[in-house]
Amino acid sequence: MLFLGVGLGMTLRHGLSSLWVLGLIVTLAWLVVLMARWQVRLVAEPLGQLLNEARPMAIADLPGAWSALEQENLDLKERADREDQLLRSIMTRLEEGLLLFGAEGSLEIFNPAAQRLLGLGAPLAQGMFPPAVFQDPESPVALQRAYLGVPSEWRLSRAARILRARAIPFAPSGAVAGVLLTLDDITRQEALETTRQKFISNVSHELKTPVTAIRIAAENLQEERLSEAGQANAQALLRSVDRLALLLGDLSELSRIESGALRLAPEQVDLDGFVASLREDFEVRHGASGVHLDLQWAGPAGTSVVVDPLRLSQILENLVSNAVKFSPPGGTVTVRAERTDRDLQWEVADAGPGIPEAEQARIFERFYRAQAAKAKPGTGLGLAIVKHLCRLMGGEVTVESHPGEGACFRVVLPLQPSR
């Protein structure tokens, strides 16, 4: 204002005299100062907002804000370094091997245990691709599946050791950005498992002959002229022997599958014919139960798939037997079949009591029987057999159930190439 007053005053007082120029200069100087201050506000205000300051920042505050920003940057870097170091030391101490394959498909991160467990001649290095890292045909295929979003688990043999490899799609922000792979040494567990399987297989095999002999003796006993109590005893003996025979049959079947002794025999199967034979089998086995079968297969006619028909029937028969067993009197068991471009899908549903959520994961374990099912006959091995057969066929079995609303078992088997 002072500049403006002096400038204008001089110009008015001296008219366009020799001093009018000086007055004009003073006015202009003032205008320049005013504009400069306005400019500073234009720059300082957004900068102040940038620094999360509520008030517009004075130019004098800028150095302070700058050094606060620098400090914050340093703190962040220090924290990132600390986290990086922590991650490195965890990776180094882990007994399990850990490998991260990036979006390009090559190795980005690995820990010393991975190097030790894989035991390759050449050391692991960033940028290596799966065939060079694993040197076996199965691992790159499993890894590829994980890149498509499907987790995989498989075994690897490395110099007298057995490793379990698990590949998990790595998708920190939704889309698959890589594959995280873990390796653990299961040599000891596998040895114990093999001993257990051999033991069960031997025992069930050895018991078959005496059990058959007891059954024949019990049948003969029934033919005898016995008192009423004697007849009842003979029948009870026969029922127990039948339960024992069933258990031994399931046990030896399960140990055959688990030990890899069971070989699949896939063949081209016409689905219309297969579904018709399922209906006939149901009538023979469960016709007297009073439970109805609703078999839904919508073609198209002439559809065929490559599958082991005997093992597929075994899977479905186990599921259907359970569904019949748990159905209310006069209830309906629904079996649905569908062939998609990628797989063959089956659903077996009933309107029984269903399975509590807490027990759903456990019913596929051998000998597990849900609390509510203890009153029903059974060995607790049927679903374990189904699970192993499905895996052997490259597929999976799952269950969906809400207590009181029945259970629905779903089998998905990948399609094999036609022959």
Residues in contact with ligand ADP by CB under 6 A are: 322-323, 326, 350, 352, 355, 363, 368-370, 373, 378-384, 407
AA identity, residue 196: R
State in angstroms the smallest separation of the CB of 382 from ligand ADP: 3
State in angstroms the smallest separation of the CB of 322 from ligand ADP: 3
Query: Looking up tokens 């220090």, which residue turns up?
Result: 78
State in angstroms the smallest separation of the CB of 200 from ligand ADP: 16
- Specify the residue, 308 or 350, whose C-beta has the smaller distance to ligand ADP: 350
AA identity, residue 38: W
Q: Determine contact, residues 366/381, Cβ cutoff 8 Å.
A: yes
Residue number with the shortest CB distance to ligand ADP?
378
- Specify the residue, 161 or 369, whose C-beta has the smaller distance to ligand ADP: 369
CA 404 to CA 71: how far, in whole Å? 62
- Specify the residue, 382 or 395, whose C-beta has the smaller distance to ligand ADP: 382
Q: Determine contact, residues 310/262, Cβ cutoff 8 Å.
A: no
- Specify the residue, 32 or 361, whose C-beta has the smaller distance to ligand ADP: 361
Query: Is the preceding peptide bond at 300 cis, omega within 30 degrees of 0?
Result: yes
CA atoms within 13 A on the CB side of 141: 5
Q: Determine contact, residues 333/324, Cβ cutoff 8 Å.
A: yes
State in angstroms the smallest separation of the CB of 168 from ligand ADP: 28
Torsion-angle region of 275 (φ positive above 0: left; ψ -120 to 50: alpha; else: beta):
alpha
- Specify the residue, 249 or 378, whose C-beta has the smaller distance to ligand ADP: 378
Other beta carbons less than 10 A from residue 164's beta carbon: 16
- Specify the residue, 363 or 412, whose C-beta has the smaller distance to ligand ADP: 363
State in angstroms the smallest separation of the CB of 331 from ligand ADP: 11
Q: How far is CA 249 from the centre of its chain?
A: 32
